Structure 1
Amino acid sequence: MKILIATAYDYPHAGGLSTHVATLQAGLEALGHEVDVLSFSDVSPISRKLLAQGPSFLLNKLKRGKGIIWSHKMRQRFLKALIEKNKDKQYDIINAQDPFTTLAALESGIPTVSTVHGYMTFESVSKGSMDEGSTEAKIMQDIEVQAYQGTRKIITVDQRLRDYVKDLSGVQGTAVSNFIDIHGFEPNKTKKAELRKTYNVDVEAPVIFVPRRLTKKNGVIYPALALPQILKSVPNAQLIYAGSGEALANIKEIVAEHKLEEHVTLLGAVSHDTVKDYYALSDVVLVPSVHSAGVEEATSISALEAMGSGSPLVACAVGGLKEIVINGEDGILVEEKNVEELAEATAYLLQNPEKGQEMADKARAKIEQDYSHIAAAKKYLEIYESALK
């Protein structure tokens, strides 16, 4: 089968959607299928700036939300043109990764299925890109409905998103949990000391890793808020963030207020390969997601990667995280926004590495059985074939 995966966002980029696309492509190709990816990154830099990003910035100055709708509609036009340009490759199916790409793909006449990764309108509100209940939010949600009702099949990355799509559009989707390349994320703790020297991380320090885009729904301020309490029992602990986003300023304020500069490292956006190394050199991984403007964490790729890498995981009991982590068995779940619980769980794993290793071993076994990219690719193929009938 010849498959086109398309997205109106940049590819590759630091984030779960990009990781999903790369891993799905690898799984489908491993099964013998031909897969191409088209994205906003394939648009010329001049067109991107002059027609999408520049006007978006100016329109948002007039009213919050106008710019993001302009930008996304321009991305839709760009994707439509790219798909038309590549029609001679005779794709059997397009797998669109967002509503605007779905609409672009539908215009091509090529059979289209859509993967829903999140609550597009609510996430825009959560990030502060538009106001809740505004005209712009209504327009964005209408676009979601149009895309969901127009596509042949819908795949969601967790059950809550499937329910959301059904409630919003009346269309029944199929939930296929996120997944990882189980060969790319293998326990590699034997190289911990070597990797710490490579990245200039204290070989003796207990390391807490937060591999999260720095946005509100990911709860990234809470590890920094919990760190002073963690330091009381683990004085030489180091907290490392890998990611970028609008919450960076908040984290810096917390670090400065509590004088944590010697204990916190902000890497910014780093490559996926670098993130893999930080999983291997870390002692505990945190995925502190929270509810924000109606948005819940889906089946977190970061959590799956941590579990696959052999690192013990502490996560908040929200969204898809409750589906993939059995509290106390293959990870620890804590109440969202509960700084004390987060600190206690993290300190416990740092002080009891043998217990953490036991959880990590069980987590790895679960990933191999239930969250393999090959198994997920087979499920996607079944949906593609159903859509083509």
Structure 2
Amino acid sequence: MKILLATVYHYPHTGGLSTHVATLKAGLEARGHEVDILSFSDIPELKQNMKVRGPGFLMNKLSKGKGFVYGLQTRKKMLQKLMEAVKQKNYDVVNAQEVYATFAALDAGLPVVSTVHGYLTYEALSAGNILKDSPEEKFLMEEEVKAYRSTRAIITVDTRIKEYVQREAGITGTAIRNFINVDDFRPEKEKKAEFRQKHGVDVDVPVFFVPRRLTKKNGVIYPILSLPAVLEKYPNAQLIYAGTGEAMDEMKRLIAEHKLEGNVRLLGAIPHDVIKEFYALADVALVPSVHSAGVEEATSISALEAMGSGSPLIACAVGGLKEIINHNVDGLLTEEKNVEELSAAMIELLDDPAKGQQLADRARKKIEDEYSHMAAAEKYEEIYMRAVK
């Protein structure tokens, strides 16, 4: 098949959606399909600024949320034009990665299957992009329902999102949990010292790695709040974040307030290949997601990557994280927003490296057995073929 993966956001970019697209492409190509990717990155930077960012910024200054909605609609129109320009390639199916990529494919006259990674409206509320009970909230929810009812098939990345689509739009999708390239994300702990030297991390320092977009629903403030208790026993412990987002300012404030400047590193956005090196040099990975404005973590790609990379994982017991982690078997689950419980779990794995290694070994086996990109690509292929009959 000739398949087009499409998104109104940037590709590549820091975040799970971009990782999902790259990994799905690898799996589909390994199965013999021809796969292209079309994204907002294919629009010239000057045009992005003039048509989307500049006007959207000004509109948001006048009325919170209007610029956000305008931006999505404009991205859709621009992506649609790109799709119309490549129609001669005769794609069998477009796999749209969100609501407005779905609309772009529909209006371009292309057969479309949609993957739902999250909750567009609720996530916009959680991130502060729109206001609760605003016209924008009502409009975006109507747009979600319209997209779900218009596409040929719905794929969701966990069962909760499948239930959400069923509840809001009356459409039954297929839940295919997120996945990783098990060949790319594999244990490399033998390179721990090498990667620590490369990235300026002392060889004897306990390291907690948080590979998360810095947004409210990812709970990124809670490792900072939990760190002081850890430092009482392990005073040289480091907390390293990889990602960017709107929570950055609050995190910097908390770091200064608790005098943690010497123990917390904010790397910003780093390439996906480099993230693999931080998994290898870390002692523990953290995925501290929380409920936020009705949003729950899906089958977290960051969690799957940590489990595949040989790092013991601590995560909060919300959303899809509860589906992929078996507490005290292949990871540790803590109550969301519970600073004391998270601190205790962090200390526990530093106190007992053998337990951490056991959790990590079991997690790697689970990833190989259940979350392979090859197995997921086969499932996607089946849905594509049914959708275009």
- TM-score, normalised by the number of residues in structure 1: 0.99
Corresponding letter in the other structure for 1:343: S
1:341 and 2:341 correspond? yes
- Residue 353 of structure 1 is matched in structure 2 by 353
Structure 2 distance, partners of 1:339, 1:321, is 18
Structure 2 distance, partners of 1:13, 1:46, is 18
Corresponding letter in the other structure for 1:266: L
Corresponding letter in the other structure for 2:3: I
1:234 and 2:230 correspond? no
Deviations 1:339-358 (A, max 9, x none): 00000001110111110000
- Residue 152 of structure 1 is matched in structure 2 by 152
Deviations 1:267-308 (A, max 9, x none): 001110111000000000000000000000000000000000
Structure 1 distance, partners of 2:108, 2:135, is 29
Structure 2 distance, partners of 1:164, 1:155, is 12
Structure 2 distance, partners of 1:189, 1:53, is 42
Please state whether the residue corresponding to 2:262 is helix, strand or coil: helix
Corresponding letter in the other structure for 1:337: K
Report matched runs for 1:51-62 at 5 Å. Answer: 51-62=51-62
> Offset at 1:46?
1.9
- Residue 15 of structure 2 is matched in structure 1 by 15
After the TM superposition, which parts of structure 1 deviate over 4 Å for at least 4 consecutive aligned residues? none
> Offset at 1:109?
2.0
- Residue 165 of structure 1 is matched in structure 2 by 165
- Residue 118 of structure 1 is matched in structure 2 by 118
Corresponding letter in the other structure for 2:281: L
Structure 2 distance, partners of 1:321, 1:304, is 9
- Residue 209 of structure 1 is matched in structure 2 by 209
Verify the 8 A CA contact 2:81 2:108 in the aligned structure 1.
no
Verify the 8 A CA contact 2:196 2:202 in the aligned structure 1.
yes
Structure 1 distance, partners of 2:140, 2:219, is 25
Structure 2 distance, partners of 1:371, 1:35, is 21
1:224 and 2:215 correspond? no
> Offset at 1:108?
2.1
Structure 1 distance, partners of 2:246, 2:205, is 29
Verify the 8 A CA contact 2:166 2:173 in the aligned structure 1.
yes
> Offset at 1:147?
0.6
Question: Larger deviation: 315-324 or 255-264?
Answer: 255-264
**Number of equivalent positions:** 389
Structure 2 distance, partners of 1:6, 1:320, is 24
Structure 1 distance, partners of 2:282, 2:150, is 45
Structure 1 distance, partners of 2:132, 2:168, is 16
Corresponding letter in the other structure for 2:270: V
> Offset at 1:161?
0.2
Structure 2 distance, partners of 1:218, 1:148, is 25
Structure 2 distance, partners of 1:166, 1:209, is 36
Q: Could you tell me the percent identity over the aligned residues? A: 61
> Offset at 1:83?
0.3
Report matched runs for 1:310-329 at 5 Å. Answer: 310-329=310-329
- Residue 136 of structure 1 is matched in structure 2 by 136
Report matched runs for 1:157-306 at 5 Å. Answer: 157-306=157-306
Please state whether the residue corresponding to 1:261 is helix, strand or coil: coil
- Residue 80 of structure 2 is matched in structure 1 by 80
> Offset at 1:378?
0.2
Structure 1 distance, partners of 2:116, 2:95, is 10
- Residue 40 of structure 1 is matched in structure 2 by 40
> Offset at 1:6?
0.2
- Residue 98 of structure 1 is matched in structure 2 by 98
Please state whether the residue corresponding to 1:11 is helix, strand or coil: coil
> Offset at 1:250?
1.0
> Offset at 1:56?
0.4
> Offset at 1:110?
1.8
Verify the 8 A CA contact 2:208 2:283 in the aligned structure 1.
yes
Structure 2 distance, partners of 1:76, 1:307, is 35
- TM-score, normalised by the number of residues in structure 2: 0.99
Structure 2 distance, partners of 1:387, 1:133, is 36
Structure 2 distance, partners of 1:63, 1:290, is 28
Please state whether the residue corresponding to 2:340 is helix, strand or coil: helix
